[in-house]
A and B are shown apart, each in its own frame.
Chain A
């Protein structure tokens, strides 16, 4: 009799555990995925292909609903602010933001996203004072190191060098130029001129208007692709071109010999890690997001199909 009672109690307990498990499972399935908005300029451009691929994979693994904002060029903090404001009305839980150039962006992000988590992607916010660090976590490559890598690649052969950088008030441009100049200072190379791009300018006209150079260092991916196209048309044929490139196009141009050397960040890694880091924050309210410096690689045309390490790195660009 006593044995029957114990068996009954054990069975009841098991049934209760089972019932609790199913109730938990039902509620767990009904939890909506957290919505993370991605703010990138010209989000449909192929320079972001690897990055978005990484983000989507990570979103799938971390049960995040990604919203890739419909954007055009983002020439100022004001334009970025409008996009963020619109998405605030789209039930967004967090933002992954490429910061627009200009020193107002940090303040704008602090105001607009005071109550939602933000992680910066690809580059950090621009700060006039180089010693002052941003309060946001950033997942992206080390642009100072990328500039330094290019200077070391040019080595002591380079005599007359022209630099084409992105916007002047951008962390990526200023850091890459500093990295390049600091490293070149230790060698014999001479920088003939450095040009920071302005809105609505024709880069080729700007290059033509400046003193002739032997080497062109292009520190902006989109511009590198455009300049490579011109090299394709036979223009700039006596100039060796090096640069920072994100896109498949840059790699194709390296393969065709239109570009002589390329420093490429791992777009897939930036995308994957940024979503992963945000997922941790959204799962654990008190988690403090971390900055991550992602992988960069110097790629030469000879290495493209011979160096296994480079081949593996380029898988994410496919």
Chain B
């Protein structure tokens, strides 16, 4: 009889007053990317603002330590501890299969962001989504801003040889965004009628410190012969700015510098004239979309999901930023 009483009391719900909780697991490719960190902070902020009296939202952010294998293990740990929606910023966009398999086995929808998996992978399961931008568009816009600036400021051609001597600061070798941004920015400049002469290209892994080192070497090699710096992102563009700050050259002797992302520090640099332009990657809008999607998936609703391209893609639009409109973006 006593045994029966104990057994029955164990069968009941231990905590009937427990609130419903949405667990969102976010795994980024690294902890050292300011753009991704700003985006995940915004995502957390949005999700927290969506909490209600009946529903708590717990957001856990981890990172893949720049290693796809480590990221796969982190995702496995997150699933093991209990997770309702996963938001993944892949280390290597070409190998999401392990993560997709784990998610599918455990029925946990995945929102990939910023680094787009190949289409075939995303079509493996109907609960896979992508929120991000079109890298090609950012390259075209960067080329357009640079071309417009060069046409309006003939002094950019410091040696007046009719050609713009330029260097490229590229992200990771072989990365889809690196290839698209580089190709389309240069192609657009040429299409806009700017005559170019490439002095050098350097891979700096999207990283400010690495870009600064590479740029310092280029400055000592080409001295004041560099007229244009095209960077695949703002972090590396800011690395170039830092290298020039530490060089012997006064700002009037610097080349024009362009980046992509619209980081706060890059916007400040555009405002102060140390950079001439950037392309705004709307992290706020993407973070909001991810938060809305997470909540909708959890509640089993379809309002936002029905508006997605092919039911799974959300592609945010880039925006051009130069000195004429930088103040609008600084207020973001």
Chain A residues engaging chain B, CB cutoff 8 angstroms: 37, 42-44, 46, 67-72, 82-83, 85-88, 90
Asked whether A70 lies within 8 Å of B14 as measured between CB atoms, the reply is no
Asked whether A82 lies within 8 Å of B82 as measured between CB atoms, the reply is no
Q: Does B78 contact A (CB under 8 A)?
A: yes
Asked whether A86 lies within 8 Å of B82 as measured between CB atoms, the reply is yes
- Taken residue by residue from 118 to 135, chain B's Cβ proximity to chain A (1 for < 8 Å, 0 otherwise) reads as 000000000000000000
The interface residues of chain A lying within 8 Å CB-to-CB of B63 are: 44
Asked whether A70 lies within 8 Å of B56 as measured between CB atoms, the reply is no
Asked whether B81 lies within 8 Å of A88 as measured between CB atoms, the reply is no
Measured in the bound complex, the distance between the Cα atoms of B11 and A185 in whole Å is 58
Q: 30 pairs across A/B with beta carbons < 8 Å? A: A43-B60, A43-B62, A44-B60, A44-B74, A46-B31, A67-B77, A67-B80, A67-B81, A68-B81, A70-B23, A70-B25, A70-B58, A70-B60, A70-B78, A70-B82, A71-B58, A71-B60, A72-B58, A72-B60, A82-B18, A82-B19, A82-B21, A85-B14, A85-B15, A86-B18, A86-B21, A86-B82, A87-B81, A88-B14, A90-B82
Q: Does B199 contact A (CB under 8 A)?
A: no
Measured in the bound complex, the distance between the Cα atoms of B25 and A42 in whole Å is 11
Q: Smallest distance from the beta carbon of A154 to chain B beta carbons, Å?
A: 31
Asked whether B78 lies within 8 Å of A85 as measured between CB atoms, the reply is no
The interface residues of chain A lying within 8 Å CB-to-CB of B56 are: 82
The interface residues of chain B lying within 8 Å CB-to-CB of A42 are: 60-61
Measured in the bound complex, the distance between the Cα atoms of B80 and A44 in whole Å is 15
The interface residues of chain B lying within 8 Å CB-to-CB of A67 are: 77, 80-81
Q: Which residue of A lies closest to B83 (CB)?
A: A70
Q: Smallest distance from the beta carbon of B238 to chain A beta carbons, Å?
A: 13
Q: Smallest distance from the beta carbon of B37 to chain A beta carbons, Å?
A: 12
The interface residues of chain B lying within 8 Å CB-to-CB of A85 are: 14-15, 18
Asked whether A68 lies within 8 Å of B59 as measured between CB atoms, the reply is no
- Taken residue by residue from 1 to 44, chain B's Cβ proximity to chain A (1 for < 8 Å, 0 otherwise) reads as 00000000000001100110101010000010000000000001
Extra pairs beyond A82-B19, A85-B18 (7, CB < 8 Å): A44-B60, A44-B62, A70-B23, A72-B44, A82-B56, A83-B58, A86-B18
Asked whether B77 lies within 8 Å of A68 as measured between CB atoms, the reply is yes
The interface residues of chain A lying within 8 Å CB-to-CB of B31 are: 46
The interface residues of chain B lying within 8 Å CB-to-CB of A83 are: 58
A-B interface, 10 closest residue pairs, ranked by CB to CB distance from nearest: A44-B62, A70-B60, A70-B81, A85-B15, A67-B81, A69-B81, A44-B61, A68-B77, A72-B59, A72-B58
Q: Which residue of B lies closest to A88 (CB)?
A: B14
The interface residues of chain A lying within 8 Å CB-to-CB of B25 are: 70
The interface residues of chain A lying within 8 Å CB-to-CB of B60 are: 42-44, 70-72
Measured in the bound complex, the distance between the Cα atoms of B26 and A42 in whole Å is 12
Q: Smallest distance from the beta carbon of B165 to chain A beta carbons, Å?
A: 33
